[in-house]
Amino acid sequence: MELLIVILLLIIGLLTFLLLKKERVLGIKPEITNKNTEVKIVESKEYRKNIFNLLNSIPEGILILDKSKKIIFSNNSSTKLFDTKINENISGSLRNPDLLSSIDKIFEDKNIPDFEIEIRNKAVLRLNISIYLDKNNLFFDEVSCVLFIRDLTEFHKFQQLKSDFVANVSHELRTPLQSIKMGLETINNIKDLKENNELNNLMPLMTSQSERMENLIRDLLSLSKIELQEHIRPTHEIDLIELIDYVIKTYEKIISKQNIKIIFNKVESLKIIGDRDKLIEIFTNLIDNSIKYSDKNKEITITAKKDGEFNTVSVRDQGIGIPKESIHRITERFFTVDPSKSRSVGGTGLGLAIVKHLVSQHRAEMDINSVENEGTTIDIKFNSL
Ligand code: ATP
Ligand code: MG
């Protein structure tokens, strides 16, 4: 019996030793925090020091702020990039209204998607920021907010060069093309030439090809302009119902010709912060696609409604649909599912690439659902006012 007690004591001693050793290795100390016997892991100073060392070696900038937006941690990359000082308010080094309001929102426990801002300190910086709320006091003994900052300045400089190049080339092509078009119209009006069979065959082809080239140049110019402005948030209050009514009106002639019906399910008003011309471009492109890729006698249903925290507009058609494997590619520039079909309806594959940038400029989201031979639905989810 005595031997049994000694063995038991030895086992308990060994277990305690192993447990203490594990705590030392992990740097954590389990602690019973409330009567419901819920176990909470309280991080020791040693454990946090290890985390901060790790954060310091990350190339992305990381800032941790308290509720008053005071910087309580800045990793090496952040300090180098923004000259941040501990205990200083974030607005001292990163002054941007979007950023400040997003920090307020995250402390109210709202979801904030990644966003881009421009900071003008010594140089102009373009930053992509993700915000995370540390509710479990992982980093400090209080609720704090963690900013993950990616410096996209170099990437945007490259983008700018590319956009400038495309804009310049497109601009240069436009002038000679307009002269060619004018020439074609003049030739088309010369009576004697109308009897020339060969020319009669060639004229429609030359005219349609020059129109196609003109559309392409217009879209390329529009795309490069939009890319450069993507980070600038629109500021006007827009009623989506009035705007979509306006866009539908511009299609009246075309849809009556093709016997396509547009049904608009709407609420009384649906207000967002946006840019009128750009929103018109978004819905024009979507409706244009629904018409182009549907047969005659089909219906297009547009629904605009409040959807939880979003104001959502969906454009649904009964058209040819998109193959499953191509859905994720249709917002790529110049991508078309069936190039010959697109060419025959005058498509260049730039419409949805433009829409994607405009949607992102509005900080909205785009969802594409489609079933081949049944139809396509595109939802655009805007933040409500
Ligand atoms: P553009 O809009 O520049 O005149 P496009 O319509 O061909 O040309 P996008 O609007 O970018 O280009 O669309 C890309 C491709 O996605 C289209 O070519 C088509 O294959 C497919 N697509 C887009 N919308 C629909 C739709 N509603 N139904 C079926 N296919 C679609
Ligand atoms: Mg299109």
| CB half-sphere exposure, 202, CA atoms < 13 A | 11
Ligand 1, atom 27, lies closest to the CA of: 290
Predicted local distance difference test score (pLDDT) of residue 2: 59
Give the DSSP letter of residue 136: T
CA of 347 to the centre of ligand 2 (A): 6
Distance of CA 139 to the CA centre of its chain: 30
**d(C-alpha 115, C-alpha 117), whole Å:** 7
Reported as a single tens digit per residue, the pLDDT across 218-256 is 888 888 888 888 878 899 999 999 999 999 999 999 999
Give the sheet arrangement for strand 124-134, strand by strand: 71-74, 61-65, 144-151, 124-134, 115-120
Please report where in the chains the tokens 């305690």 appear, as a residue: 16
Q: Which residues approach ligand 1 with their CB closer than 6 A? A: 219, 285, 289-290, 292-293, 317, 319-322, 330, 335-338, 342, 347-353, 376
Q: To the nearest whole percent, how much of the chain has pLDDT over 90?
A: 48
Q: Which residue, judged by its Cα, is nearest atom 4 of ligand 1?
A: 347
This prediction has a pTM of 0.68
Q: Are 210 and 184 in contact (CB under 8 A)?
A: yes
Residue 147: pLDDT band with limits 50, 70, 90: very high
- Say which residue the tokens 């024009």 belong to: 284
Q: Which residues contact 292 (CB under 8 A, 6 or more apart)?
A: 345, 346, 347
Tokens 């009006």 locate to 189
Point out the ligand nearest to the CA of residue 290: 1
| Strands annotated E in 121-161 | 124-134, 144-151
State the distance from the centre of ligand 1 to the C-alpha of 340, rounded, in angstroms.
12
Give the distance (Å) from ligand 1 centre to CA of residue 334. Answer: 10
Confidence band of 12 (pLDDT split at 50, 70, 90): low
Amino acid at 189: N
Domains in the chain, start-ordered, CATH in brackets?
Answer: 2-151 (3.30.450.20), 152-229 (1.10.287), 234-385 (3.30.565.10)
pLDDT at 238: 96
- Token pair of 48 as six digits: 């946090």
What's the N-to-C CA distance of the chain in angstroms?
Answer: 77
pLDDT tens readout for residues 264-279: 999 999 999 999 999 9
CA dihedral (161, 167, 170, 172) positive or negative:
negative
pLDDT in tens, 47-89: 888 889 999 999 999 999 999 999 999 999 999 988 888 999 9
Mean pLDDT (the chain) is 86
According to DSSP, the β-strands at 375-383 and 365-371 are antiparallel
Q: Which of 286, 289, 298, 331 has most ligand 1 atoms within 8 Å of its beta carbon, as the pocket-test mutant?
A: 289
Q: Looking at the predicted structure, is the pLDDT value of residue 15 above 80? A: no
Ligand 1 mean position to 336 CA, how many Å? 6
Does pLDDT of 352 surpass 50?
yes
